[in-house]
Structure 1
Amino acid sequence: MPQHPESRTSRAGRAPSRLGRKALLAASAFGVVTALLSPVRAGAAPAPAPAAPAGAASPISENGQLKVCGNRLCNSGGQAVQLRGMSTHGTQWYSQCVTDGSLDVLANEWGGDVLRVSTYVQEGGYETDPARFTSLAQKFVDGATRRGMYAVIDWHMLSPGDPNFNLERAKTFFFAMAKKYKDNPGVLYEIANEPSDVSWSTVKSYAEKIIPVIRAQDPDAVVLVGTRAWSSFGVSDGADEKEVVNNPVRASNIMYTFHFYAASHRDEYLSALDRASDRLPVFVTEFGTQNYAGEGANDFGMSQRFLDLMKRKNISWTNWNYSDDNRSGAVFKEGSCNAGRFSGTGVLKEAGVWIRDRIR
């Protein structure tokens, strides 16, 4: 297995059923259609994305507190739902890409249902200043939920691959986050981004230590559990989903995460996702249309096969990533975030245009 996508952050020495938004996007009364059809002149700052009017429908207002029912994510009424949205890049590098302007675009122009807020633990992240990165995560979660989008609080552990290395940090972080958001129906907790080089039983043991910390503060929220071998259900290490099916985490209202990069992860991964979602509740919290490093040419054909499967089975997803990183997997062209340019398609890379259309 080649080096996994998360190495993209600093490897080269660089900082590196559908929800009810259809009506919101279709309503010209909101001014969204007009804004989308207006061309952006070269060198001109695009018009700000229009905000939805007070009282307008949003994912949270329409669906309320989410829960796991059977193998699906469901709304407060027990109806299966699919969330579609974006993941931030590491907040230690790209906080300038998560602003009022960019969140307005994601919520109102793209029709996003969910923002995954990625708090890296290492690589200059949480471990260097826990108070700062907790506050930053809360700022972005607040920004998403204030706009009616759900927020996935992503504990972006990567290297070391054993989540237990950061166990005490994770307990501190999730205690603080769950205490703050215990009454907020818009929050989900992703407790381990991409475990690697450890057994499933090790990951399971970690989950069974962290979930009670969250449940003590926030008993109702959905918790997302990373699977081994970079959240591939073990496929990247030659295993498959049976290790989780036969030895599930001892907790309720949880889902398991799956990640893929379509130019590298082909039919074997697609088949694993299909099989796993028949037996387990699955949330695809990260994927890209490029190779495993989030780089190179886009494979939109393979990506669409994954998206078609996820649509058919109501599997929620967030795409990597909502930034202007130099790699092809970042949706914005370089320099867009510092310039505050987020609206329209002129500021987007090829992958950005494609994923924006799929979210919409």
Structure 2
Amino acid sequence: MVLRRVPIIVAVATAALLSTGAAVAPTLSTTTIATHEAPAAVPDDAQAAAPQAVSPQAVTPVEANGQLSVCGVRLCNEQGKQVQLRGMSTHGTQWYSQCVDDTSLDTLAYDWNADVMRISTYVQEDGYETDPARFTALVNQYIDMLSERGLYAIVDWHMLDPGDPNFNLERAKTFFTAVAERNNGRNNIIYEVANEPNGVSWQTIKSYHEQIVPVVRAKDPDAVILLGTRAWSSLGVSDGASESEVVNNPVNASNVMYTFHFYAASHGQEYLDALSRAADRIPMFITEFGTQDYAGEGANDFAMAQRYLDLAAQKKISWTNWNFSDDHRSGAVFTEGTCGSGSYGTDRLKEAGGWIRDQIRTPDDF
């Protein structure tokens, strides 16, 4: 086991000031530790009130694991050890870029102890197609920020409507060529080349993957690539199919994984069983899930979500939760008005935010 990053916040105040009883804001400084033993727990209400003054421990997820690769049906680090990454997905960056700043990422890295963030670049819906240069630059900016904190970055090509990924094939080639060429010296980039294909056959989706994977490989030959599956990345289950169509007809490429999305209040036992069976046959990565319904709204079903995450822990399936924003929906982790406020403490978390923070803070054993 490597050292996890544990922030220590030290308040410094002179004895004279304390003796006066004056309301004086303490001066904050930070330090790091180099021990396997974590400091005494700080109550959540104290953490909520504390400024986000944090500093990384010596070993970050990327320092511990290096270049990831697919070994058999699992994700492995550069030592060949099976690993599970846990983290968050941004909301669409055309809407919620203000939620990804230095303070929020410090919170994600050093308080939540996340391993990975998924950068969701919508293609349509006022996204990439409206200004390719701007959105490509934004992805690169976020990659730089995540790299500074030792986190992995998933570059998500968030195609959704239209559901045929081939509609955006040329745009995807341009985007992934630019991002992979600019970042090919990094060892922390993962590429998700089609968010949620829908309304088309697996053979059509497979054809897209087999055209776009070589584009990434030409610029970044070692990176893991994540491949969307049919029916909103449900392995076809939402269209009445099963995982067998992918298992029996996989993409002709190496070092790839297949994506699965679930929303606990909408996707029950049938979906969980398909994921479990698939994970024994092909490499799987849960790049998006929520504890609510499929729209990220409504009541939370934490019991069903926990069953999914228990399976993911058992089978070393990595995951990112939807989403790291202050959207009004119950699936956004922060309360409205949080982003840009400078404070991302536990007092700003919705119910789902508190739950997922606890899940992320329970680390894998790498």
- TM-score > 0.5, shorter chain as reference: yes
Q: After superposition, what is the alpha-carbon deviation per residue over 1:305-328, rounded to whole angstroms, capped at 9, x for unaligned? A: 000000000000000000000000
The answer for the alignment partner of 1:286 in structure 2 is 288
Q: Distance in 2 between matches of 1:174 and 1:191?
A: 8
CA deviation profile, 1:138-194 (whole Å, cap 9, x unmatched): 111111121001000000000000000000000000000110111100000000000
In structure 1, the residue matched to 2:56 is 52
> How far apart are residue 40 of structure 1 and its match?
5.7
Distance, in Å, in 2 between the alignment partners of 1:126 and 1:58 is: 31
Provide the C-alpha distance between the structure 1 equivalents of 2:297 and 2:80, rounded to a whole number of angstroms.
39
The separation in 2 between residues aligned to 1:40 and 1:336, in whole angstroms, is 18
* Aligned partner of 2:189 among 184, 187, 203: 187
Please state how far the C-alpha of 1:339 moved relative to its aligned partner: 1.2
CA contact under 8 A between 1:200 and 1:243: conserved in structure 2? yes
Deviation at 1:30, TM superposition (A): 3.6
Aligned to 1:347: 348
Structure 1 counterpart SS, 2:339: helix
CA distance in 2, matches of 1:49, 1:267: 42
Q: Superposed, which structure 2 residues align to 1:131-210 within 5 Å?
A: 131-210=133-212
Q: 1:121 to 1:246 in 2, by over 3 A?
A: same
Q: What residue is the counterpart of 2:274 in the other structure?
A: 272
Question: Shift of residue 107 of structure 1?
Answer: 0.4
SS in 1 for 2:267: coil
Are the equivalent residues in 2 in contact too, given 1:40–1:346 (CA < 8 A)? no
Give the conservation status (yes or no) of the 8 Å contact 1:36–1:109.
no
Measured in 2, the distance between the counterparts of 1:101 and 1:34 equals 23
Query: Structure 1's 38 and 330: CA in aligned 2 closer, same or farther, altered over 3 A?
Result: closer
Asked whether the 8 Å contact 1:97–1:323 carries over to 2, the reply is yes
8 Å Cα contact 2:52-2:103 kept in structure 1: yes
SS in 2 for 1:93: helix
Indicate yes or no: 2:133 matched with 1:109: no
User: 1:228 is aligned with what amino acid?
Assistant: R
In structure 2, what is the equivalent of residue 4 of structure 1? none
The answer as to whether partners of 2:7 and 2:110 remain within 8 angstroms in 1 is no
After TM superposition, list the pairs within 5 Å mapping 1:88-99 onto structure 2: 88-99=90-101
Residues 99-157 of structure 1, C-alpha deviation per residue, up to 9 Å, x if partnerless?
A: 00000000000000000000000000000000000000111111112100100000000
Residue 221 of structure 1 corresponds to which residue in structure 2?
223
Q: CA deviation at 1:41?
A: 9.9
**2:285–2:319 contact (8 Å) kept in structure 1:** yes
- The Cα of 1:48 is off from its aligned counterpart by 1.4
Partner-residue secondary structure (3-state), 2:340? helix
Larger Rg: 2
For 1:226 and 1:173, locate their aligned partners in 2 and report how far apart those are by CA, in whole Å.
17
1:259 counterpart letter in structure 2: H
Alignment check: 8 A CA contact 1:49 1:108 kept: no
Q: Provide structure 1 residue ranges, at least 5 long, that are not aligned to the other structure.
A: 1-18
Q: Contact 2:7–2:55 (CA<8 Å) still a contact in 1? A: no
**Secondary structure in 2 matching 1:337:** coil
Gaps of 5+ in 2: 10-30, 362-366
Structure 1 pair 280–131 and aligned structure 2 pair: CA distance change class (3 A): same
1:66 aligns with 2:68: yes
SS at match of 1:338: coil
Q: For residues 279 and 26 of structure 1, what CA distance do their matches in structure 2 show? A: 39
The answer on whether the counterparts of 2:7 and 2:111 sit within 8 Å (CA) in structure 1 is no
Cα deviation, 1:231-268, whole Å, max 9, x if unaligned, reads 00000000011101111000000000000000110000
> Hey, what's the Cα distance between the residues in 1 that align with 2:245 and 2:44?
51
Number of the residue aligned with 1:39: 45
Which residue is equivalent to 1:77? 79
1:305, 1:41 → 2: CA distance? Answer: 29
Q: Distance in 1 between matches of 2:41 and 2:56?
A: 13
2:291 maps to 1:310: no
Q: How many residues align?
A: 336
2:6 is the alignment partner of 1:25: yes
